[in-house]
Amino acid sequence: MRIDVISLFPEFIRESAALGVVGRAGERGLLQVQAWNPRDYATDNYRRVDQRPFGGGPGMLMLAEPLAACLGAAKAADPAPAHVVYLSPQGPRLTQARVRELAAMPRLVLLCGRYEGLDERFIEREVDEEISIGDYVLSGGELAAAVLVDAVGRLQEGALNHADSASQDSFEDGLLDCPHYTRSEAAGTEGVPAVLLSGDHAAIARWRRQQSLGRTWLRRPDLLARARLDAADRALLADFIRQWQAIQPPRA
């Protein structure tokens, strides 16, 4: 997969894409991330990339012309059709389900806004989708683009070392992940749930599923309300809730 990122801070994009799993995906040829700077497409002597908005008021917008020229160059760099995403707090919030869909596309172009954002006509003309990474405002789209590159990059076939580790992640089935315990010389097995030491793989799988359901119930009831649970899941959760209620201190 190829991802082109249009940003006034291309170094940040290059450096973040070179780290960890995503960096390795790049080395393995599974993911190609290229950063483009609209300033390289500015035509005036000052290489200006910002402009005052119509209607006045504080704040500047990104100048449309260098951005359009930069986007044109990025698109033309590869014949594969590009899905253009503008990272913005105005978009729908990113979910793991959407990440999976984006990860299956051959090519993305990510637009990172700075200042107060982009000209609305440019968005209407050029952008296929706006995406927000959460209900808070960042000072630019770069961190959001790095989040998207990471989430999509790690799902490229062969990027993760254990083939099944993505399918066990939080959110892959709409639930949070179960707790994990590392083998440690210093801490030994103290505080590790006995079932994990039992060697009984069916019991371990059941316990993990129950923890995943229970954690989601405790921490993210909104996710649980949308998750599809079968009868076995519902029984595990009911059992978790009973155990949890039994250890709650009495209310004063």
Positive or negative, the CA dihedral 53, 13, 173, 106 is positive
d(CA 87, CA 145) in angstroms, rounded, equals 7
* Alpha-carbon gap, residue 250 to 122, rounded angstroms: 59
* 28 closest CA partner among 205, 157, 194: 157
**Could you give the CA distance from residue 176 to residue 112 in angstroms, rounded to a whole number?**
30
- Asked about 40 being catalytic, the answer comes back as no
| Contacting ligand ADE within 129-168 (CB under 6 A) | 132-134, 136-138, 141, 144
Closest separation in Å from C-beta 11 to ligand ADE? 18
Size, binding site for ligand ADE by CB under 6 A? 11
Q: Which lies closer to ligand ADE via its Cβ, residue 144 or residue 213?
A: 144
Q: Which one of 5, 63, 87, 175 is in contact with ligand ADE (CB under 6 A)? A: 87
Using rule CB under 6 A, residue 7 touches ligand ADE: no
Residue 154 among the catalytic residues:
yes
User: Is position 137 annotated in a ligand binding site?
Assistant: yes
Distance of CA 149 to the CA centre of its chain: 7
Do residues 147 and 153 lie in contact, with contact meaning Cβ atoms separated by under 8 Å? no
Query: How do beta strands 107-112 and 61-62 pair?
Result: unpaired
* Least distance (Å) between residue 144 CB and ligand ADE: 3
Which one of the listed residues 24, 66, 89, 142 is annotated catalytic?
89
Q: How many CB atoms lie within 10 A of CB 233?
A: 17
User: For the purposes of burial, counting CB atoms within 10 Å of the CB of 176, is it exposed (0-12), middle (13-18) or buried (19 or more)?
Assistant: buried
Is 136 annotated in a binding site? The answer is yes
One character per residue 40-79, x = contact with ligand ADE (rule: CB under 6 A): ----------------------------------------
Determine the residue with CB nearest ligand ADE.
Answer: 144
Residues within the interface to ligand ADE (CB under 6 A): 87-89, 132-134, 136-138, 141, 144
Residues annotated in a binding site for S-adenosyl-L-methionine: 113, 133-138
Q: Which residues are catalytic?
A: 89, 116, 154, 169
